[in-house]
Chain A
Amino acid sequence: MRIPRAAPALIALFAGSALGAQTLHPSASASLVWARVRSQKSAGTDYLSGPAFLGQGTLAMRRLQLTVTYMQGTVNQDGPLGASRNLVEGTVQLGFRPLDWLTLETGPHARAYSSTGATERWAFWELRARAETAFVGSAVRGYAELWRVVAANVNVPESFGHGQGGEVGMILRLARAPLAARVGYRIDHAVLGGGTRLETVDGVVVGVGLSGLP
């Protein structure tokens, strides 16, 4: 009896998938980020760095796209007595592509630093603009992305002032294969407490991607 009840739902799910496959264009990538965190406070400046894994997935339909990223890694304080922190970051961006080379996105961006004692949680709402076009034949595409924080919620003593960031890089697409290689540089900068605290996260991104997933 339970199987017949579930059948219409399953049929609807598969039918929806088949219909969506005609217009949805998924892609995914996995990257290694050498992240560096610079936290400048009135008491001093902390420098932390370390590798992180960055996963990204995109689902595009015509001129709309949904992008989800997740980054996790461990950054260690520079110096022999440095403590380590776990860095976890994620974004969900809904984008619209008014031109073939331009994408406008908006969505939440969350970041957390967790150490033994406490966890700093940063939550932003961002506006992003991304330009991407081929510059070496059709195989190599360059991209530049800038974003601005329009709202934020952080659990640190300093009040949030403003924040912005950007990423520039290139994507090499292999001919006759859905594979792509990516190299880029990204930076995220936030100002808190009227300039008493500056928080900067930057890093080099090297990764591979897969587009046209079934």
Chain B
Amino acid sequence: MRGGRHLAGLCMMALALAAVPSALRAQSSDSLFATGLRAYKNLEFDLAAWLLRRDLAQLSATAPAATRAAGLAYLGAAELFRGKRDSAAAVFRRLVLVDPRYRPDRLVFPPEVTTLFDGVRLQTKTVTVDVPRDTTVVPGTGSFDIWVIASSFQTTEVTLRYTDGAPFRALYTGPIGDSLKVQWDGLDASGVPPPVNRVVLRVASRAPTGELGGIVQVPLDLRVVRPDTLPWPPPLTAAQLLPERAKSGAATRSLLGGLFLSGAVAALPAVVGGTDTRSGPRMAVAGTIGLAGLFGYMLHRPGRPLAANMRANQTLRETWQRRVATATAENARRRRDVRLAIRAGEPTAIQPRGP
């Protein structure tokens, strides 16, 4: 009696759909799910299953996992209540693959549904990978955190691989119960920052028997970030340095000045007309001035080291060398301060067999 009522409702719905196909096609996925859910609650499981399958078929692959999971849960329950246990198990397996963390609400679904779901979940070995979308780590000391959430107890291999599939770095191989945090220090197998700008995070699930349950891959774009180094201070130019050796100008000036003035003293009487004068005192003055010029020449002789200028230049050079040393140390620190920028792509799942 109950089955006949369901069949009549299904036929009426089919007739209605045939009568207004364009209107139904225009119906949104939300209304299909809502209609299916209403049918499920009205115990019209055939209609509910038909509507929910249609709803799931219209959902794109990029639809949120929570949306697909809700549809699959009601579809599995509807299939179970239709007496199609295998079909329900297949739906639940698909649900586990979509979201290993999903648990049916025990206030909504009866124990036979949750029991079947738990049985399927325990037999389905799959994982989901949760990684930060954009992050920066310090290679060696920092860590890139990878959360692996398992549907059930299983053995997991977490590896980083080159884009061609060759192994790059093995991160973890072992059992996993519920979830596991795996850390990558940003280095390759030889302990240096990665020489490539893209690797693939690969998480393989295996049953205790060794059977491959599934693979989840996440592409990781890598970029080694090195801070700019400081420019070296400009070298000292000749214009900044004082002469360290006396030039010939001052010495020549002293010598020629003394000679000129001595000559002027000696020739002064002849210039002014008083020729008959005593030459002794005059020559003494001329000699004194000449000696002063000679002394000045010796004092400022060319090539004489200029100690004050040498000290001033040494201070300048030491200051420059200190600036170079400071820049060198800062650059060495900056060269060590290498960071690895990681951008995670969309995860893709590879299943050995379909649901």
Which residues of A are at the interface with B, using a C-beta cutoff of 8 A? Answer: 34, 36, 38, 40, 133, 135-137, 140, 142, 144, 146, 164-170, 172, 183-185, 187-189, 191, 198, 200, 202-204
Contacts and interface: CB of A to CB of B under 8 A. Distances in A.
A127 to B, nearest CB: 14
Given A36-B278, A135-B296, A185-B285, A142 B257 contact: yes
9 contacts: A136-B293, A140-B296, A142-B258, A169-B285, A183-B289, A185-B281, A187-B277, A188-B272, A189-B272
A46 to B, nearest CB: 12
Contact of A144 (B261, B274, B288, B300): B261
Listed from nearest, the 10 A-B pairs whose CB atoms lie closest are: A135-B257, A136-B296, A189-B274, A200-B274, A185-B285, A204-B281, A168-B264, A142-B261, A136-B254, A168-B265
B296 A137 contact: yes
Contact of A202 (B269, B292, B295, B296): B269
B260 to A, nearest CB: 8
Contacts of B282: 185, 202, 204
Contacts of A202: 269, 274, 277-278, 282
Contacts of A183: 285, 288-289
Interface residues of B, number: 32
Contacts of B277: 36, 38, 187, 200, 202
A170 B285 CA distance: 9
A83 to B, nearest CB: 20
B257 A166 contact: no
B272 A165 contact: yes
Given A185-B268, A204-B284, A135 B299 contact: no
Contact of B276 (A34, A38, A137, A146): A38
Interface in B264-309: 264-265, 268-269, 271-274, 276-278, 281-282, 284-286, 288-289, 292-293, 295-296, 299-300
Chain A CB within 10 Å, residue with most, of B260, B284, B292, B300: B292
Given A136-B257, A185-B265, A185-B268, A38 B274 contact: yes
Contact of A142 (B273, B289, B299): B289
